[in-house]
Amino acid sequence: MADLAGLTELFEPEARAEGLELVRVKMMGGTSDPTLQIMAERPDTRQLTLDDCALLSRRISELLDRLEAEGRDPVPGSYRLEVSSPGIDRPLTRLKDYADWAGHEARISLAEKLDGRKQFTGELVGTEGDQVVIDVQGLGETRLPFALIHSAKLVMTDKLIAATAPLSSEGADQIKVEED
């Protein structure tokens, strides 16, 4: 299995060189269909264009090919490389994500129970030190240690859709018909 923290360190300079920030590096698909997924975004827009995906994919592919040729392959075996945007209902992987998306609904799963529960859904309030603050219906403001969070993502709401409108939808309503 690949060292995800090591891969993140390896890929961060490549993303920064393109003006991007890494959101997540993850291996998916198990042994039958392994996929190295890299999510990134532009810090100023929280989005990623197709051109951004292509540029980052090429940079990372070239880096991985070079390391493999040197006998230092950080991802042993065959796999598919996927570079993508975090999407609308994005994963929350960095402490700063919880502050950036304050005011939006999130679903957080802990690695172990805290006060008898592992699942928390509510409106993100932000962060306090190394804790995530979420307003959970029936519980009120709840502080969750960031280190205990197993997974978290935004919940699709009208407010989130409005906040993540594409930078440009130019041409999206046009159909191009090509003749043979």
Q: How far apart are the first and last CA of the chain?
A: 47
Answer whether residue 175 shows pLDDT above 70: no
Confidence of residue 138 (pLDDT cuts 50, 70, 90): very high
Lowest mean pLDDT among 32-36, 55-59, 95-99: 32-36
Angle ∠(38,35,87) on CA atoms, nearest 5: 40
User: Which residue do the tokens 């995906």 mark?
Assistant: 53
Q: Kindly give, in sequence order, each residue whose CB lies less than 8 Å from that of residue 115, ignoring residues fewer than 6 positions away.
A: none
Answer whether residue 31 shows pLDDT above 70: yes
Tell me 148's DSSP state.
Answer: G
Mean of all residue pLDDT scores within the chain: 91
Residues 115-150: b if buried by 16+ CB within 10 A, e if exposed: eeeeebebbbbebeeebbbbebeeeeebebeeebbe
- Residue 167's pLDDT is 56
